[in-house]
Amino acid sequence: MSSRETPQGAARVTMIDIARHAGVSKSTVSLVLQGSPLVKAETREKVVAAIEALGYVYNRGAANLRGQRSNIVGMVINDLANPFFAELAVGIERVFHAAGYIPFIANTIENPKRQGEVLRSMSEHDIAGLIICPARGTRPSDIETMAQLGVPVVLAMRRLAGPRYSSVTPDNLRGARRATEHLLALGHRRIAFFGGYSDMIAQNDRCGGYQAALVAAGIAVDPMLVIEGPPNRECGQNAIGHVLDMAVPPTAALCFNDVVAFGVLTGLERRGLAAGRDFALVGFDDVAEARHTNPPLTTVHVDTGALGERAAHQVLRMIHGDARPEEFVSDVDLVVRASCGAATGRLQ
């Protein structure tokens, strides 16, 4: 007998059938059945109408087994093309594999719409937990549905305003401030900041640390030296070209991340200039490639693998019943290499 048939042979209506009939996701049907206030009245009416039309009977006994989820955990990454997030994913996967869980990984390419589709798919697979690096533009409500379904959620690298979720992030403000103080100690007074957007909390923190260091040194923040853009190589190339054409160009820059800094290295080379000799450059993250660039990149070191492991352990703890949110901020330090024009080493 089919698992979807009653003893009398009649097909049993499932939530998937209701979802298809109403033109919504399975997770939306589940929310309606739970009486969640997150569902719009119009959507709720469509789901109720589908339930009545198909004769669906809610199996509350089965619903009470909700805690017995699958051994699949979701990993939603905003940009796997960035080596930093690839390294983070490796740390996450290492812990889940050891614990007997299967990672379901998805790359959202910084697209909230794609992210929404991924989350709906994961909710329909009854994932046991979720680690998400939110795409730019993510609203707290975009992931609230997962929490309402009882899925443990941990934010990685990017916090969100609003409801308090467990999270793992590096100390962005301290790292950026320390990097800027280093450039100031080398004698630079016109220092630029490249990359990221002001609607990103991580960018606010990193740019905020940069600005705090300047103010503490008695240097006014010049908004013309803060160049926003996507955190990729193209942004770095465009930004360095822009500031070098200024009447009084900066002599140094802190980048939102290493990938932006890699673009700056390319932009400098195309002008016949070299980082560390003609322009002081600092990145942020310390991905593996940073030590192999020409010249090697001075950067704020983040223990990426350890952060990934911490995020995975947080999810496992929540899966096993500890619902207390934990906002973990890891320490950072500055790795000085040739790109800033100073003696190399590691500064705390």
* CA atoms of 169 and 303, how far apart (whole Å): 10
The pLDDT value recorded for residue 69 is 60
The pLDDT value recorded for residue 347 is 53
- DSSP states of 156-198 as a string? ES---SSS--EEEEE-HHHHHHHHHHHHHHTT--SEEEE-B-T
Q: Are 80 and 86 in contact (CB under 8 A)?
A: yes
Is the pLDDT reported for residue 9 higher than 80? no
The pLDDT value recorded for residue 58 is 55
pTM for this predicted structure: 0.78
* Cβ within 8 Å of residue 261, ≥6 positions away: 194, 236, 255, 281, 282, 283, 284, 290, 297, 299, 339
**Cα–Cα distance list, 62 to 58, 66, 69, 78, 202 (Å):** 9, 7, 12, 34, 41
Q: Are 249 and 225 in contact (CB under 8 A)?
A: no
Task: Give 328 or 5, the one with higher predicted confidence.
Answer: 328
The pLDDT value recorded for residue 134 is 94
Longest dimension (CA), the chain: 84
The pLDDT value recorded for residue 36 is 61
Tokens representing 186 are 């080398």
* CA atoms of 207 and 180, how far apart (whole Å): 10
The pLDDT value recorded for residue 7 is 37
Confidence of residue 8 (pLDDT cuts 50, 70, 90): very low
Range scoring the smallest mean pLDDT among 107-121, 218-232, 242-256, 269-283: 107-121
Coil, strand or helix at 281:
strand
Query: Which amino acid appears at position 290 of this protein?
Result: A
Average pLDDT, the chain: 88
Strand order in the sheet with 102-107: 102-107, 72-77, 129-132, 153-156, 166-170, 327-330
Query: Stretch 274-300: mean pLDDT, rounded?
Result: 97
The pLDDT value recorded for residue 346 is 55
- Domains plus CATH for the chain? 15-65 (1.10.260.40), 69-168+304-330 (3.40.50.2300), 172-303+333-347 (3.40.50.2300)
Element at 209 (helix H, strand E): helix 201-216
The pLDDT value recorded for residue 163 is 67
* CA atoms of 284 and 299, how far apart (whole Å): 5
**pLDDT per residue as tens digits for the range 29-80:** 877 776 665 678 888 888 888 887 887 765 544 444 444 567 899 999 999 9
The pair phi, psi for residue 247, each rounded to 5°, is -60, -40
The pLDDT value recorded for residue 60 is 46
**pLDDT per residue as tens digits for the range 312-348:** 999 999 988 887 888 999 999 999 999 999 866 555 4
**pLDDT per residue as tens digits for the range 110-162:** 999 999 999 988 888 889 999 999 999 998 888 888 888 889 999 999 988 76
**pLDDT per residue as tens digits for the range 160-195:** 876 678 999 999 999 999 999 999 999 999 999 999
Which residues are bridge partners to 246 per DSSP? Answer: none
* CA atoms of 103 and 124, how far apart (whole Å): 15
The pair phi, psi for residue 58, each rounded to 5°, is -75, 120
The pLDDT value recorded for residue 51 is 83
Is the pLDDT reported for residue 6 higher than 50? no
Is the pLDDT reported for residue 207 higher than 50? yes
Query: Stretch 10-27: mean pLDDT, rounded?
Result: 81
